[in-house]
Structure 1
Amino acid sequence: MVGGVQLGVLAACVVLFVPMGMAGWHLSRNKMLFFSGALFITLAVGVHLTPYFPSIYDALSSLSSSVDRTSSRDSCISFLHDISFLHKSDNYSSVDYAWANSPPVLACDFQRLGRSDASDLLNGSWVVVAGDSQARLMALSLLSLVLDSDDMEVVKGDLFKRHSDYQIVMGQIGMKLDFIWAPYVANLTGLMTELKRNGNYPDVLVMGSGLWHMLHITNSSDYGVSLQLLRNLVVSLAPISPSLTGGSGSVSIRSPHFFWVGMPRLINSMLNTEEKRVKMSDAMLSAYDRELYQSKLLRQWGGGPLILLDVESLGRNCGTSCTVDGMHYDGIVYEAAVHVMLNALLIESHQKL
C-alpha cells in the first residue's frame, strides 16, 4: 500500500535531485534555494493532505495493490506443477503426491481440497470440459472429488460411453458439468463459436486436444495452424458476457477461467498398437509441443489466455508405473492436475479457503 512513508521518500528524492539538476543549468543560488523551498513545502503539504482526499489516496493504494497482487499471482501460477509423487516402497500400486517443500511453493500455500472445500469453490458454477480422452479423464477426476462413491459408479458408466458427450447437474451444490467429445482442435473452435453465438459462457472451460491429430493426421504444422485459430477466437471473446445487475443499470463483465489439458508423456514401447508406436514418437510429440508453444495459446508460454494443466510433467514425475498403455495415466495423475486447476482458480479469483 502506498503510505505517507513512501510518499515522503519520493518527496525527499524530488527535493534533493531536482535542484541538483537545476544547478547544472547554471541557475543562481537564490533562485535555486527559492525553488527548492517552494517545492519542499508543496510536496510536504501534499503528503500530509493526500489521506484526506479519498479518491487520490484510494487510486494510489489500488494501483500499488494491483501490481503486488498481479506479481504474486503470476509467480504462484508458475509453481503450480512443482509436485512430487510418492511411491510406497512396499507397494508400487499405492501412490500419493505433494507439492515441493521449497520456499516459493510454501509461500504460495497450495492446498489439496477436500470434497467440502471443492464443492464450496465450485458452488453454482457451470464447468465445461471439452476434448479427447485426456479431457474425459480430467472430468472424471473432478467429479470424483465432489461426488460420493455411489454416485460415481453411475457416472462412470455414462461418462465413458465411447466418443459421446455427457452432462450432469449436482443440485446439492448447484454445479453443472458438461463433457464435450472434441478430439480435434477444430472441434474446440466450433464449440467456442457456438458459445459466442448463444451468448452464454461457462464459468470454467477446460480444453485439450492433440492425440487424435497426432495419430490420424500426423502433421504438426497443421496442428499449429488450428491452435492459432483457436487462440484468436478465445482472445476475441475475453472479457465475455456482459450482464445487467440489480436496478442500478451498471454492467459487470464475467470472463470464464480457461485451462488447457496438455498432452501426456508418451512411453512409446508401451503403446498398444504398431500404428501408435510409429506415428506417436518422441520426435512427433516434441514437434506438437513446439507448435503449442509457438501458438501463444498458453499463459505460461507466451502470455496467452489459457493456463496449462501440464499432464506431461505430472506423468513424468509419477513414472512408468503410473500408466498401463503409455498414454493414459492412473487417476492419481489427473487428480493432481485437477488440484492444480482448483488452486489456479483460487489464485485467479483472489480466494483462500
Structure 2
Amino acid sequence: MLFFSCALFITLAVGVHITPYFPSISAFLSASEVIIPTPAILYHDSCLLLLHRVVYKDVRECDVDSNFDDTESVCKRSWDWIKNECEFQKLKRSDASDLLNGSWVVVAGDSQSRLMAVSLLELIMGSEGVERIKGDLFKRHSDYSVMVEEIGMRLDFVWAPYVANLTQLTLRYKGSKDFPDILMMGAGLWDMLHVNNATEFGVSLRVLRDNVLALLPVSSSLDAGGGGVSEPKASHLLHLFWVGMPTLITSMLNTAEKKERMTTAMYTSYDNELAGSNLLRQSGGPLLKLDIGLLSEFCGPRCTSDGMHYDEVAYNTALQIMLNALLIESNQKP
C-alpha cells in the first residue's frame, strides 16, 4: 500500500501548521469552560500507544574503512517496530521534508536534545550537510540556528540544561506571541549531576507545566488558577514533545562525580517526579514523551561508550517516533 502520495504530503505540510496537537480538544470547546481531556481521550488513536514498541537487532554492515572481523561484535544496530499493525513508516528524506516544509522547529535542552537536533538535520540535510555545520552545532553549551532553504524549515537548538531554562523559554514565546510549530524539549541530567535533588526537580517541572499550558489556546483543569476560565492565549497551535533522559549505565560513566550522583536510585527518583508532574500526556499533560530511556535500554550497552550518550540509532528511532506522531496527530494515519 503506497502511503506517501503527493496529495497526502500537501495535506500533511498544512496539517503541521494548522491541525491542533490535541485534535480531540475541539470537541470540548464551549463558551463557558474548556478542559484538557483525560489521558484515555488524549490518546484518541491507539497507535500513539504503540509508537515505542520497537526492537533492535545487529546488522553486519560496516563503513568501508572498518576492519570487520567475523569473531567480533557487529558494526551497527538497526531497529524496527514490533508487530507494526499501525503500519508506521520510517520516513525518508523526501517524505520528512514534505512533512516539515515551511515549519519552525525548536529543540531545547541538554546534550540529549542536541543529539535529537542532529538526527533531524541529518535526515533533512544528509550526513554531508550536517558535517559542514557540525562545528557550530556542537559548540559547547551554546545555541544554534539554521535555515534549510530547500524546504523553508528553520531549526533552532536552545541550550537549556535545567528545567528553569525551559520555563524561561516558554515565557519568552508567551511574551513575544511568536511560537514555533514543533517544540521538543527535555532536561534532567544536569540537574541530577549538579543539584541532585529530585524533589526540587519535581517542583520545577510543575512550574514548567503551568507555563506550557499557558501557551495553549485553551484553559485547563491543570491551570495554576485552579479551574478558572481564560480566553484563548494563542491562535498558533504547538506540537509538543518531551525528550526523556537516557538509561544511565553507572559503571560506564566517565567521572567519579557522575558515578556517585547519577545512581540508579536517583535516576528512578527523577523519573518518578516527571511521571507525577502532569507534564506528560501519559498523565494528562501537554507534552508527548519521546522515551529515550526506554529506547536506549532496548538498544543496550553496546550502543553507548560513556553510559549516557547513545549511538545515533537510538535518537533516529526517537525522531521517527516523533514524525509518526505528527502524522497521527494530523489525522493522517499510516
TM range (shorter): 0.7 to 0.9
- Structure 1 residue corresponding to 2:139, chosen from 151, 161, 169: 161
Is 1:317 equivalent to 2:298 in the alignment? yes
Change (3 A) 1:149 1:71: closer
- Does 2:81 align with 1:99? yes
1:263 is aligned to 2:234: no
Distance 2:255 2:75 in 1: 25
Residue identity opposite 1:226 in structure 2 = S
Matched, 1:239 2:217: yes
Which residue of 2 is the match for residue 122 of structure 1? 100
Deviations 1:78-121 (A, max 9, x none): 111001011137542211100002xxx41x22110000000000
Equivalent residue, structure 2, for 1:23: none
Q: Distance in 2 between matches of 1:76 and 1:328?
A: 28
Instruction: State, as a whole percentage, how many aligned pairs show the same letter.
Output: 55
Shift of 1:150: 2.4
Give ranges in structure 2 of 5+ residues lacking alignment: 1-25, 28-40, 61-69, 219-233
Quick one: which of 327, 330, 333 aligns to 2:308?
327
Compared with structure 1, are the counterparts of its residues 221 and 71 closer, same or farther at alpha carbon in structure 2 (3 Å cutoff)? closer
Query: 1:204 matched to which residue of 2?
Result: 182
2:43–2:49 Cα contact (<8 Å) kept: no
Higher helix share: 1
Show the counterpart of 1:293. Answer: 275
Task: Give the match for residue 48 of structure 2.
Answer: 77
> Are 2:155 and 1:182 equivalent residues in the alignment?
no
Give the 3-state SS of the residue equivalent to 1:147 in structure 2. Answer: helix
Three-state SS of the structure 1 residue aligned to 2:214 is helix
Q: Which has the higher contact order (CA 8 A, sep 6+)?
A: 2
CA displacement 1:129-186 (0-9 Å, x = unmatched): 0000000000000000000232111121111010000000011101000000000000
Q: Is the CA contact (8 Å cut-off) linking 2:242 and 2:288 kept in structure 1?
A: yes
What's the secondary structure of 1:180's corresponding residue?
strand
Provide the aligned length of Structure 1 versus Structure 2.
Answer: 271
CA drift of 1:351 comes to 2.2
Could you report, residue by residue, the CA deviation over 1:294-341 in whole angstroms, capped at 9, with x for unpaired residues?
0010002x1110000000000011110000000000000000000010
1:279 alignment partner in structure 2: 261
Please tell me whether Structure 1 or Structure 2 has the larger radius of gyration of its CA atoms. 1
| 1:92–1:321 Cα contact (<8 Å) kept | no
Given residue 294 of structure 2, which amino acid in structure 1 is its aligned partner?
A: S
Amino acid at match of 1:87: D
* Structure 1 residue ranges (4+ consecutive) displaced by more than 6 angstroms after TM superposition: none
Structure-2 separation of matches of 1:261 and 1:75: 21
TM-score by length of structure 2 reads 0.78
Is the 8 Å Cα contact of residues 202 and 256 (structure 1) preserved in structure 2?
A: yes
Displacement after TM superposition at 1:253 (Å):
3.3
Q: 8 Å contact 1:73–1:347 — kept in the other structure?
A: no
Deviation at 1:72, TM superposition (A): 7.0
Q: Which amino acid aligns with 2:245?
A: M
SS at match of 1:169: strand
